[in-house]
Structure 1
Amino acid sequence: MTLFDGALVAFAGLLCGIVNSIAGGGSLILFPALLGTGMSSLSANVTNSVATWPGYLGGVVGFRDEIRSQRKRLPPLVVATLAGSTVGCVLLLVTPEGAFDVVVPFLVLFASGLTALQPWAKRRMAKGAATGERPSRAAVGGIFVAALYGGYFGGALGVIIVGVLGLTVHDTFRRLNAGKSLLSLVDASVSVTVFGLFGPVEWQFAAVAAPSTLLGGFLGAKVAKRLDEKVLRACVVGFGVLVSIYLLIRAL
């Protein structure tokens, strides 16, 4: 790892943490930065999954009170997340790298689209009323599919989970966002375990990016009220579209 590569990944990790804290979709910044170091798309994907784990942990700590108040709802969703993420990780590891190179541009484009739709999910959740009921089958099934995607790719996973919860659970945005933080951490923990044991993780880059994503998450929480979330989200979405076009051209 050159000094330039280390600085690039550290800076991208910092931005990733900030964007995840404010708008979501930060992986769309770190993933292409890892590709920029010459890493293969598969290695960049699994390294990205490992490096973003600390940021999810920080989110859970920040929402610990809201998470404790959802003891009836969250356990079935955690189980669904564990199952879905495990299946997704295994599918990724058995996918030939050439096939993944073809699929990944469309995954990045899909993640960018979901990031663009996040305000709609927020408005949908804001209409809910707090409840402590157990989740419906639709919620459990939706979270399983979201976690499967998270285990396979992971870009904009938080946005997907927010959307699923917004459609299937009636509650306040803050409480559902807290649940999203816990489920994202569970998904990321499975990815760290599976990819750490069996995946081509570039550990030197993960060691550089992980603390910077954690720092970015804290900074993002501090400056969230001062930034225009719409502008930041538009930048992330536009960047994601450009990355997907570049990856598609490279795969062809």
Structure 2
Amino acid sequence: MTKLSVNINKIATLRNSRGGNMPNLVQSAIDIQEFGGEGITVHPRPDERHIRYQDVYDLKPIITTEFNIEGNPIPKFMDLVLESKPTQVTLVPDAIDNLTSDAGWDTVKNQDFLKEVITEFKNNGIRTSIFIDTNEKFIEAAATTGADRIELYTEEFAHQYGLGNEKAILPYVESAKLASELGLGINAGHDLNLENINFFAKEIPNLLEVSIGHALISESLYLGLENVVKMYLQRLKIS
């Protein structure tokens, strides 16, 4: 079954908006795992506008499932990952001022850089994943970097599916098939929600993990965090 990793960036955003420690990020991660969440994802950015670098160190001891840290491998980020040693690092080519992730890696242009970064992480026992678009040449190039997995960038699917276009899944299916043939594991994330997650997970072969944050936390405002985590797990179970 596809694992659910909950991105808690938005919980940190809410906390930071007033200062102090409400909501308590560490307790939220503990609760999400107790509710059945199979991983915790954070994406610290250089300006620390949501997840702070210190949060990673505070969270590490209480993670009983899988810990996934996303980000652009600038030196400060690499130091953070190597010191905290999460289960997985997901490499995302964010510009410093990006509001959110909006594109995957050009793994052809950045081949040498990615190989160097991935070798460093893998030498330290950290599983690596590359955030990537549904582009055949980029997926093929990802397989030669030494990465363990790719994470399919799913914003376009989510947008088109919301418009009623189920055929928008097709490039993702083909990308997943190609990745599997090349020996890459498959993760996915960005704008997946309760409305589209079951369809997506049913259609994508060998989907190992989805990372969901913004939608899950937003849905929890109405339905409650425990309920929403369990609703996602149920949708993934029947996919």
* TM norm structure 1: 0.25
Higher relative contact order (CA closer than 8 Å, sequence separation 6+): 1
More strand by share: 2
Output the TM-score relative to the length of structure 2: 0.26
- Identify, as 1 or 2, the structure richer in helix: 1
